[in-house]
Amino acid sequence: MRFVLISDTHIGGRFDELMFYKGIDIANSVDAEYLIHCGDLTNDGTLAQYEIAKLYLEKINKDKVFFMIPGNHDVKNVGDLLWEEMIGERFFVHADKNKQVKILALDSTEPDSNSGRMGPKAIKRIYEEFEEIPEHWLKVLVLHHHTLPIPYTGRERSAIFDAGDAIKAILDNNIHLVFNGHRHISNVYRMSDGSMQAWIINCGTLSCKKTRYREEYSMTLIDVDLKSNDLAIRVALLNKDPVEEKIQYSGKFQEITPPMKKEPIASIIQIGNTTISDHLFDAESYNKAVTAINDTHCDLVVHCGEVTGNSYLNEFEWSKVLLEKIERPKLIVPGDRDSFPLGCQLFPEYVSKPLPIFENDNLLVLGYNSCIIDEHFGRLGRGNTSNIIEQLANSSKLGVVAFHHTLIPLPRTKHDAELTDAGDVLAALTRNRVNLVLTGAKNQAGCWQVEDTVFVNSGTLSSYNITKKEGTSFNLIKIYKTNIGKYYEVEEYIINKFKYRTIGLFHVSDIAEPMKLPERIKYVTNT
């Protein structure tokens, strides 16, 4: 089964007609079951642009199964109504029993806004459409906006505000393929909650002169063989003559294996959001947590930020005393509340040096300050990112990075506490196979695997600002060596209930499988 993805044509704006025709020639000539346009058909959503766009769309072969969804540019200037009048529904549902595939496309746009939003109804619809689908069917979700940060796109912005809820729905429903557009550059991430893998596939721009980095104009082709469980993802680079292929992935589609046996390597307790202060600090929870931590064997306690509530001097003095109650080795990084102007001076004096490092026989843990003074969002920076890769690449030990701000959107939260350079940081960490990344924003525990890197976010240890009814918690991360790599058990300890619950199990292979090179597609163009 083959999908051809095009996106971000931006007809009527910085539109490259030559590239549009070249891409449509290829789409018409390639043998594919589905051709999907992932949004931003027009540039401004005006009547004139829709009328012109309709003429261009007539170049697509009528025998093609062709689906479209709107992008943020299509709903400018009340363009959402014009889309419905001139193109059709702003979503689609397609199911084919013979092909054993179901595709759900949802409108993630908000009129006159570059950012997107799913909303409770759309999230509910994902569950409704896929809950009764047999597991052997191919399940596909199409959105315009991106859910995970994309590299080479500058400052992280204009994602889906409720991307965390969307990601949870994708993983809960075992959706295999997710198609996005929006950011004008192609990208692929393999994402897992430990039991199922989803492929998050971002499509570049077909014909907009606003291109990113060196990719310029492109289209994405996905081949899925359900019988052999094979997947091939390739990008056709249209500005090359002849058209070049960039193979993003080619190999087994879904492959998660439980460990046959495991040998302990290390264990880490992850805490965050102590928010030591007069009004936010829950002393009872803190004391219970300290007792539990001191009674638990671990190599290291990592505090992922928000040590204090307001960066006041008395809070740092108080924090120094309270943190000394934790008897295990500690690595502590600052959060937003620790980074008000005074906190920038007091944190190194009372809590921890700026770039803390912990190392033993099995672990190398690097801590970083991701905060920007007086801002809720953060930045890691190229220098720190390069330093992480340089230090961990030359080490045979389990590589761990800790900072405060999130990279993976969390459910039930607005996607706004991420790093501003999240796209480049996420790409660098995963491409260089950093083993474990620990973060602490948003007061909510969660864990995911992206490519071969495990990401874990901490809940709140002792703040009254809790985000779930179970209350305060900390994470225990156990890492094991297996016959093929490493196995991670992530448990959340609910402090007031004195019990652990498993929130993630991840088996990550250290064995790099050779990429299967698929047979090259013959790209026919008339330009």
pLDDT tens digit sequence for 4-35: 999 999 999 899 999 999 999 999 999 999 99
Residue at which a domain ends, from 252, 277, 312:
252
In terms of domains, do 339 and 205 share one?
A: no
203 and 84 in a common domain = yes
Q: What is the pLDDT of residue 52?
A: 96
- Asked whether residue 518 is domain-assigned, the answer is no
Please tell me whether residues 175 and 39 are part of one structural domain: yes
pLDDT 10s digits, 381-432:
999 999 999 999 888 899 999 999 999 999 988 887 689 999 999 999 999 9
For residue 257, being part of any structural domain is answered with no
Residues 6+ positions from 76 with CB-CB distance below 8 Å: 44, 45, 46, 111, 112
**What CATH number has the domain bearing residue 100?**
3.60.21.10
Do 277 and 199 lie in a common domain? no
243 versus 257: which is more confidently predicted? Answer: 243
At residue 417, the pLDDT reads 64
What pLDDT, on the 0 to 100 scale, is given for residue 9?
A: 97
Whether 77 has a pLDDT exceeding 70, the answer reads yes
Residue 522 resides in a domain: no
Residues 333, 403 contacting (CB under 8 angstroms): yes
b/e per residue, 490-504, with b = 16+ CB within 10 A? Answer: bbbbbbeeeebeebb
258 domain-assigned: no
Q: What percent of the chain has pLDDT over 70?
A: 100
For the segment 119-135, the average pLDDT, to the nearest whole number, is 93
Task: Give the pLDDT score at 214.
Answer: 87
What number of H helices and E strands is found in the chain? 10, 26
Q: What is the mean pLDDT of residues 140-165?
A: 92
Q: What is the mean pLDDT of residues 267-288?
A: 96
233 Cβ partners below 8 Å, 6+ apart?
Answer: 188, 199, 201, 220, 221, 222, 223, 247, 248, 249, 250
Task: Give the model's pLDDT for residue 219.
Answer: 97
Identify whether residues 61 and 102 lie together within a single domain: yes
Same structural domain for residues 83 and 211? yes
pLDDT of residue 512 exceeding 80, the answer is no
**Are 278 and 153 members of one domain?**
no
Q: Is 520 inside a domain boundary? A: no
Boundary of a domain, candidates 252, 280, 303: 252
Q: How confident is the model over 455-459, as a mean pLDDT?
A: 97
* Same domain, yes or no: 246 and 336: no
* C-alpha–C-alpha distance, residues 35 and 92, integer Å: 13
Closest alpha carbon to 463 in 438, 447, 441, 491:
441
Res. 87: pLDDT tops 90: yes
- Residue 526 in any domain: the answer is no
pLDDT at position 375 is 84
pLDDT > 70? residue 527: no
Domain count for the chain: 2
**Residue 70 preceded by cis peptide, ω within 30:** no
Boundary (domain end) residue, out of 215, 232, 252? 252
Q: Are residues 192 and 70 in the same domain?
A: yes
Q: What is the mean pLDDT of the chain?
A: 93
- pLDDT score recorded for residue 470: 87
pLDDT at 260: 86
Distances (CA, A) of 426 to 53, 89, 213, 381: 36, 34, 17, 12
Report CA-CA distances (Å) from 217 to 17, 64, 243, 502.
12, 22, 11, 44
Q: Please check whether residue 238 lies inside any domain of the structure.
A: yes
Domain around 36: 2-252
Residue 196 has pLDDT above 90, yes or no: no
Contact indicator for 48, 20 with CB cutoff of 8 Å: no
Residue 172 forms part of a structural domain? yes
